Amino acid sequence: MARIVFFYLTSFGTSLLGNSITAIALPLLVLFTTGSPLGAGAVAIAAALPAAVAGLLMGSLIDRINRRTAAILSDVISALALIILPVIDLTVGLNLGWFIAVAILNSFGDVPGITAREAMLPAIAHAGRMEPSRLIGLRESLAGVSLLVGPAIAGILVASLEPVTVMWATSGIAALAALLTLVIPSRASGLPPERQGDPQHETPGSVFHGLVVIFRTPLLRVVVLLGLALAVVLAATQGMVIPVHFAFQNEAGLVGFVLSALAAGLLIGGGLFAVFGTRIPRRGWFTTGAIVVAVGFVVIGILGPVWSIFTGAAIVGLGGGCMNAVVGLTFVENVADAERGKVLGAQNALMTLVPAAGIGVAALLIEIGTLHLATTALALLWIGAAALAQLSPSIRRSGQVST
């Protein structure tokens, strides 16, 4: 594997690993410091809107500067934001206001960092003489590994250290991701020289240009809306249904293993696409992935024995890994390089906002009905969205998905 590809994947995996550890450790730190679950929820909500705004704003910047530079800046912002917490704890003391401020600052590192690395993938594949489909498959597998290992590492760190001390480690991981990205040659991740910082391609509405491109392009509109449906159902299942179910069973400690099962499925799905992606029609990957995800949600929705829920989560991950790889390749091949940052930034901004909606809807359904009502509604939502996507003329006619 070319050195460029190795450091690209390593920096991507390291950044995602840090995010997954922070996602476990930060809510625990808020909870231990404030003693209020509502406080932890407030921090998550306070970060959601700024994260979406950051995705839109930084998407435009990513299309004006070298993508490697944008990724490094994002990692540095994350590292500085996370190190603020232990420093404040050692000096003036932490309170809810500090957590909200840091969550907002950190949001300007997480989403833009992901966007920058996604936007540079075609250039990395070209420089490393690798098919984009294979690189996307490897990236999806690596995402599965990071999500699989991250919660386990977070659990070990939180068990052996105070949560505020874990923030030193997560800050260091973000800094390491920046250093690994720095090793990538700038020539392998930049825009064509004639397009860098070209003011002719910037308009007063350019911040929202990515959203305009998505919703004016039928193929992109369909895959993004399907991705939003998946994000809603997955967030509701992971963030509300599964925790409530295991809490009722007095087995709350098993919640983390569901995420691990999902990550294992993502690892396998992405790996399969990396190996066989060019041998099987993309329409086959896309359709099969959507069906497999539906089967997984149905298995989870039965709320049977513990092993069946783990199996359902792994099935969802397997289908999602296959489908996400095709979606990623669709963006690579249908979005101009000079505006890929805006479009991916808009997509990631939308994906940042919808999980809270999914959790809220699931909570309402559980409150007015039962857990099975919630799981049935979520499964039907996904099946309906997937069916509509398959029937869409843009999916059936597009050579980018069907060939």
| 1-191 and 205-403 have identical folds | yes
Among the listed residues 327, 303, 288, the one whose alpha carbon sits nearest the alpha carbon of residue 379:
303
User: Tokens 């003391």 sit at which residue?
Assistant: 93
Among the listed residues 232, 194, 241, the one whose alpha carbon sits nearest the alpha carbon of residue 374:
241
The alpha-helical segments, DSSP class H, found in 335-370 are 340-368
User: Which residues of the chain are under the pLDDT cut of 70?
Assistant: 1, 36-42, 44-46, 151, 155, 188-207, 252-253, 396-403
Handedness of CA 310, 313, 315, 318 (dihedral sign): negative
CA distance 254 to 279: 38
- pLDDT score of 201: 46
154 close to 20: Cβ distance less than 8 angstroms: yes
Q: Which CATH class is domain 205-403?
A: mainly alpha
CA distance 181 to 192: 19
130 close to 278: Cβ distance less than 8 angstroms: no
Residue 134 CB neighbours (<10 A): 18
DSSP string for 35-90: --HHHHHHHHHHHHHHHHHHHHHHHHHHTTS-HHHHHHHHHHHHHHHHHHHHHHHH
CA distance 188 to 4: 8
The set of residues, in sequence order, having a beta carbon less than 8 Å from that of 360 and lying 6+ positions away, is: none
Query: What is 1-191's CATH topology?
Result: Growth Hormone; Chain: A; (1.20.1250)
- Can you give the residue ranges of every domain in the chain? 1-191, 205-403
